[in-house]
Amino acid sequence: MEVHHHPHVEKKNFKEYFLEFLMIFLAVTLGFFAENIRENISNHEKEINYMKGFVQDLKEDTTEMSHIFFKQYFLLNQMDSALSIPVERLNNANAQDSFYHHYVYFYSLLSEFIPYDNTLTQLRNAGGFSVIRQKDVLDSIGELNLYYLDLLKSDNDYYNTYYLRVTDAGAKVIKCPPFIVTINEDVKIPNDSEVFITGKLSLLQQLYSYINMEKGQLLQCLDREVIYRDKAVKLIGYINKKYRLE
């Protein structure tokens, strides 16, 4: 009868177990560090791209503001010209004609600033704020956005309210046109057309009051917009310097 002998397995000593443990530990640790480095590189690239996008949005804001300022100053001039005509003279056909030529612009045109927020929306929706490691930059972005939401947007809402009041009050005394004019368009009243529906002094005075309110609110918006623009320009320079984008 044949006898099978089990092969003799030499027991590992403590040193060999320790070396195996050390190799596994080093492999896991190096893998962890490698993954961490890869994630940091990826997040840094995302951070740079977000900052480039945000700077571009701010540049769009400042460019847009130049057009808005021109339009708003034009509207303010039209309001001043309309208000310079004494309300008591609006029973005169020539005075009515002059008033109408100014009124029709701020009846037709509304001008407000709305910032470009493409990158800010991406940051919110994608949870991208976590990759912004520069806390001071994040704070500055939040501060500018808060300035718009708490102050400038609020002023724009009031401006819209007074704009609607002016158009409503105007509709009670003037045959308002069914068209929208542009800044460069010369308003012409068709011959033999009655523009004013009534010359009732109380309604005309109410219209003048609302125009004054709209003008005051538009001036407030302009002041806020100038501050926003200055903050945006400063933030563009700060981000470019911080991230060496230029």
**95 φ, ψ (degrees, to nearest 5):** -65, -40
End-to-end C-alpha distance for the chain, whole angstroms: 89
pLDDT recorded at residue 92: 85
One DSSP character per residue, 117-142 reads -HHHHHHHHTTGGGG---HHHHHHHH
Please state, in angstroms and rounded to a whole number, the distance separating the CA atoms of residues 4 and 14: 30
Please state, in angstroms and rounded to a whole number, the distance separating the CA atoms of residues 189 and 92: 16
Supply the pTM of this predicted model.
Answer: 0.80
Please state, in angstroms and rounded to a whole number, the distance separating the CA atoms of residues 244 and 238: 10
The domain ranges of the chain are 45-243
Q: What is the CA radius of gyration of the chain?
A: 34
Three-class HEC string of 75-112: HHHHHHHHHCCCHHHHHCHHHHHHHHHHHHHHHHCCCC
pLDDT recorded at residue 187: 65
pLDDT recorded at residue 143: 95
Please state, in angstroms and rounded to a whole number, the distance separating the CA atoms of residues 208 and 87: 8
Distance between alpha carbon 163 and the CA centroid of its chain, in Å?
A: 21
- Could you read off the pLDDT tens digit of each residue along the chain, which spans 246 residues? 455 555 555 555 656 656 666 677 666 665 655 556 565 555 668 888 889 999 999 999 999 999 999 999 999 999 999 999 999 998 888 888 889 889 989 988 888 999 999 999 888 887 777 888 888 999 999 999 999 999 999 999 999 999 999 999 999 998 876 666 777 666 666 555 667 888 899 999 999 999 999 999 999 999 999 999 999 999 999 999 998 887
Question: By 3-state DSSP, what share of the chain in percent is helix, strand and coil, each rounded to 5?
Answer: 75, 0, 25
